Structure 1
Amino acid sequence: MFTAYNPRAASAYQRINVETSMHTIDQHQLVSLLFEGLLGAIATARGALARGDVVAKCNSIAKAIRILEEGLSTALDREDGGALAENLGALYDYCLHRLILANARNDDALMQEVMRLIEPVAQGWNEIKKTGSLAVAATEGAESRPVMAEA
Structure 2
Amino acid sequence: MNAMVAMRQYQSVNTQAQAVDASPHRLIQMLMEGGLTRIAQATGAMERQQTALKGDLIGKAIGIVGGLRDGLDLAQGGELASNLDNLYQYMITRLLQANAQNDATALEEVAKLLRDVKAGWDAIGQ
Short-chain TM bin: 0.7 to 0.9
Which residue, out of 86, 91, 94, partners 1:90? 86
Partner of 2:45: 48
In structure 2, the gaps of 5 or more residues are: none
TM-score (norm. length: structure 1)? 0.73
Paired residues, number: 125
Partner of 2:74: 78
Q: Deviation above 2 Å: which 4+ runs of structure 1?
A: 7-23
RMSD of aligned C-alpha atoms?
A: 2.2
- Partners of 2:112 and 2:15 lie apart in 1 by 28
Identity %: 40
1:30 aligned to 2:27?
A: yes
Q: Which amino acid aligns with 2:49?
A: G
Partner of 1:63: 60
- How far 1:118 moved relative to its partner? 1.4
- Partners of 1:115 and 1:15 lie apart in 2 by 23
Cα distance change, pair 50–17 in 1 and its aligned pair in 2 (3 A): closer
Cα distance change, pair 43–12 in 1 and its aligned pair in 2 (3 A): closer
- Partners of 2:50 and 2:8 lie apart in 1 by 24
1:120 aligned to 2:80?
A: no
